[in-house]
Every structure is written in structure tokens, then in C-alpha cells.
Structure 1
Amino acid sequence: MNTAIGSLSFEQSALVGTLVVDFAIQLVGWLVSSVLQTDKLYDLLGSTTFIVLAVGTLAYAGRNTARSVIATILVCLWALRLGGFLFFRVLKSGSDSRFDEAKKKPGTFLVYWALQGVWVWVTLLPVIIVNSSSRDLQRVLWTDVVGLALWVLGFILEVTADFQKYAFKQIPANKGRFIDTGVYKFARYPQYGGEILVWLGVWLFCTPVFQGADWASVVSPVCVASLLLFVSGVPIQERQAQERWGADPAYQAWRARAWLLFPLGPRWWTKQPGSTAGGGVQSS
């Protein structure tokens, strides 16, 4: 297709177009979910939006480079796995506790959907740029190798952590207990570490085509890490963990010896961001 919008360049047109489609999907999702007062579509549509925008920009460009195809595949694999897992989990549990009150208040619920739209678009920026860029390098660079390696390591870590935690919760004897087995024996939030590695890897893989303002897309991995460590991940889960197990000596001992995000690394990773004491969070 390779057409631009008005006086905008092709790359700028892709950025604007994906932003419009992104928020259109969130708006439809909010309308349906508000009428039905359900939260089952939230994570599903969030992951679906990643796929729609990634595949859409690839098709919109009308030209496929090896880098753009691989970047799109990485996004789709991640989104299909995460979206499928979260949708299955909410169907099995019946609801998502994050939205118990919000889904009854359309205005409040809209804020959640709008924030999801921002998260999707900002996180996907490097891939949107690569898919709409006419620049590409034919040779393999160190950023390609390291980027793909980070993505693979992060994906494996995230999948393993989610599977092990889900299996742990299915055992009746574990009801009310914190998980300290599997990868959780060594790290308190390995699924967060995996998520950060995935998007750092995607960004690094996309960098060879960047010029000028394209480098601002570093906001993608920075945003993912910041949300998990300071907003929607660590702070919320830390409060819940302290309420449940704060007085449990076993929990405090595990928390003091386990790393925060990865099952290895320097000891400062054991500390909760912004705190002088060791800490971490349980994922939902």
C-alpha cells in the first residue's frame, strides 16, 4: 500500500494510524464491557491490539524486510501466549479482582481502557517504526543477536514462571501460601523480569533502522520496566504480599534471600525499588 496521510510522511502516518486504531479497539472494548459489566475482555483485547497493530503496519507498508517480519512474529508470539493465558485464567476464576468495582462505574472503567491503549501503543513503538521504515541492513549485527537472545530468555522465563505459579495454585494444600518453588525459589517476580527482557530485546533488535527521533522509542522498554517496578506491578503486589504474609517468618526469610526479578544477579536486585529493605511482590 505504502501511502501517507496528507502531508505526513509514511512513518508518521503509520504512527498516527496505529494510535487511532488502538484507541478505537479500546473504546469498543470499554463499551461492550461496560454494558455487560464484565472484565473478561480486557486482557484479551489488549493482547489482540498488539497483534492487529503489528500485522497491520506490516501489511500497510507493502514491503517486508527480514527485520520487520521477525519483529512482528516476536510480538505476535508474545501476545498470543500472554493473551491466551490471561483469558483462560479469568474464565477459570470467573473475574479479575482488579476490576471488581471499576466495571460497575463506566467512567472509572474507561480510564483503565484508555491506559491500556497508551500502554499498547508506547510499548509497540519500535515495531511500528521498523514496519513502516524503508531503511534496513542486510547484514546481521550484534544488536540482532543480543536482542533475539534477550527476547528468548525473557519469553522462556515469563512462560515458566506463569506456568509454575498457576500449577502451584491448583494444589488445594497451597491455598493461602506464597510460592517459593521452581524459579520462584530464586526470584520473587521472575515473570516481571521476563517481561522486561522481552521488550528490551524487541527494542534492541529494531535499533539498526533508527534515525533521529526514532531513538525516542526507547520509551518502550523503559515504560514496561517502570510500570512493573513502580506502578502496576511491584507496589500493588507488595502491599498484598505484606498483608497476607508480612508476619510469616518463612516469607520474610525467603524474601530476604531471593532476587527481585531474575534467578541470578547482583544483590541490590533483592531490594524493592525506592526502599532500603529487601522486598518484592507476588504477581496476580
Structure 2
Amino acid sequence: MSKTQTSLVLFFVVLIALLFAWAGGQYGPQFNIGEFTAVPLLVMAVLIVFLIQWLAFIPAYIKKTEHFYDLVGGVSYLVFVGGMFLATYQFDMRSLLLTVLVSIWALRLSLFLFKRVGQDGSDSRFDSIKHDFMRFLLAWTVQGLWIIVTAGCAVAAISSAQKVSLTMIDGIAILLWILGFAIEIIADQQKRQFKRQETKPTPFICQGLWRYSRHPNYFGEIILWFGIALLALPALQGWQYMTLLSPFFVVLLLTKISGIPLLEAKADERWQGLDEYQNYKNNTPVLLPNFLK
């Protein structure tokens, strides 16, 4: 992309996040910016999330490093979700659960990715962009959008004036989160252990959960975010229902944009000449596990 195109994308990324926050913050606390003007506090929280990304971008660009990209993402989740929880002064059980579950996921994933990039020495996603100011800035800004939209329905519910007691449906939502979280952790750990093996049966992982799906960690992540959306649903009203796009955004991101397409292309480039890889690819679903294999 040219610098002009990148600038336009940056503008629309921020605009989408602000519109999303405006919708999610309609029935939450307001921030007064004048005698007759107020904006949803969620909009101000979104601006803080972007500010964190842009401040972190400065030393990252100077050092041409992506090593603390994911760690900053995890901290941003904690600030976004935890900050809105504290700002509402209405500490009901649903809000507390949403805050805790999102925070646990964010901490686990960011620390896992931070450790991984430290062990691997780099993250190939950034090889071609970390020397380009605008493209690297876009990557940090898109991380802000990812945080805001992914956690959007949770934060909207946390800050909503509508408080609803927990029901059996919420128990199902929590079980979905637990299931997805467990699958993601197990799949990630299996892959790290596979990479550390000196002698491998195949050059690519196709054992454990990876026997049933080529991307079981992403399957787990999608499940847990649908669990979060289901838990958030009863507290939403009006325009806040727009934030239920959150789990579908996760699906779109992982299956069409930055997750599976990049990894599949990289795997095809490395192993497309191997019969065992073609057999694995032809007989193993991309995402939804086939436990009947």
C-alpha cells in the first residue's frame, strides 16, 4: 500500500472503533466535556487504548522490534476491561465474571506470545513492515481495533446500566469459555512441545489436538469469545446489541485476514512437496475438529 492508502486505512480503523464504542456506550456512564455535551465513557476508553498502542509504537519503531507488541496488547485489554469495570461503580456478578474471564485470557495469551517471540527471536508477521513507519504504525493501530472490537460486547455489558441476575444460560456461557480456553491452551502447548522435539515424526505437527484440526487453537479462541458474548447478552440493550459482532469479528479475523490464511500459505510454501503434508491437509479440517478421524 502507498502512504496515502495506509493513512486512509488508519483513519477508517479509528473511525470504526469509535463508532463501535459509541454504540456500546449508549446505556453506560457518560463523560462530560462541557456544560451541555457528554460522550459515552466507552469512547474515552477506546481513545486510551489507541493512545497506549501509539505510545508503545514509538520505541518499537526506533528499535525496529516487535518483541513487546503482544505484551502491550495484553496490558491494553486489562486497562480497557478493568478500567471500565472500576468506572461503573456497579460491581454485579456478571460484570465481575466478564472482567475476570477476559483478563485471564488476555494475560495468558499475551505472556505466551511474548515468551514465544523471545524464544524464536522474531515474529515473521513483522519482517516486512517493522522498517516502514506507516505500515508498522498501522499494525499497532489495528491491534487497538482488535482489542476494542473483540472485547466490545464484554465492556458494553460491564458498563451497561441494565443489570441482570445470572441464570442457567450464563452457566452454559461460562462452560463455553472454559472449553474454548482449555482447547486453546492445550493446542498451544502441544505445538511448543513439538517444536522443541529433536526428533520429529513429521516436520509439521499433526498429533494431539492437531490431529483433528489444522488450527485447534483458533477453534478454541472462537468458542471462548462466543461464550463471552452469550454471557454479555442479557445486560445489553438498544444500540449495544451492535457489539455482539465481537465474536464474528474474531471469526473473520482468524479465518480470512491474519490468522489461518497466513499460516496456511506459509505451510504450503514449506511443505507442499511432501506427500504426508498433502495427505494431512486433505484429511484434516482447517478449523472445526473432526473427532471421528
- For 1:274, the equivalent position in structure 2 comes to none
* Distance (Å, rounded) in 1 between the aligned partners of 2:214 and 2:172: 25
Partner of 1:281: none
CA contact (8 A) 2:94 2:165 kept: no
Checking the alignment, whether the CA contact within 8 Å between 1:157 and 1:194 is kept in structure 2 is yes
Cα RMSD (Å): 1.9
Q: Which residue of 1 aligns with 2:214?
A: 188
Cα distance, 1:75 vs structure 2: 0.5
Partner residue in 2 for 1:257: 283
Unaligned runs of 5+ in 2: 1-28
1:160 equivalent in structure 2: 186
Structure-2 change in CA distance of 1:93 and 1:139 (3 Å): closer
Pairing partner for 1:75 from 82, 86, 102: 102
Q: Which residue does 2:137 correspond to in 1?
A: 110
TM-score by length of 2: 0.85
Mapping of 1:226-241 within 5 angstroms?
A: 226-241=252-267
Q: Which runs of 5+ in 1 are unaligned?
A: 268-284
What is the alpha-carbon distance in structure 1 between the residues aligned to residue 30 and residue 245 of structure 2? Answer: 27
State the alpha-carbon separation in 2 of the partners of residues 210 and 224 from structure 1.
19
Residue in 2 aligned with 1:271?
Answer: none
Partner of 1:84: 111
1:275 is aligned to none
Match in the other structure for 1:21:
48
Matches within 5 A, 1:1-284: 4-6=31-33, 13-142=40-169, 144-174=170-200, 177-264=203-290
C-alpha distance in 2, partners of 1:260/1:28? 37
Aligned counterparts of 1:176 and 1:36: Cα–Cα separation in 2: 37
1:210 and 1:265, CA in 2 relative to 1: closer, same or farther beyond 3 A? farther
Shift of 1:134: 1.8
Q: Per the alignment, in what secondary structure is the counterpart of residue 102 of structure 1?
A: coil
Distance in 2 (CA, whole Å) between partners of 1:55 and 1:26 is 17
How many angstroms does 1:141 deviate by?
4.0
> For the Cα contact (< 8 Å) 1:22–1:117, is it kept in 2?
yes
Deviates more, 1:200-209 or 1:233-242: 233-242
Deviations 1:78-102 (A, max 9, x none): 0111011000111111111111231
2:9 paired residue number? none
- Contact kept in structure 2, 1:259 and 1:265, CA below 8 Å: no
Aligned length: 263
Superimposed CA distance per residue, residues 170-213 of structure 1 (whole angstroms, 9 cap, x where no aligned partner): 11223981100111111110011011111111011100011111
> Match of 1:31, as an amino acid?
I
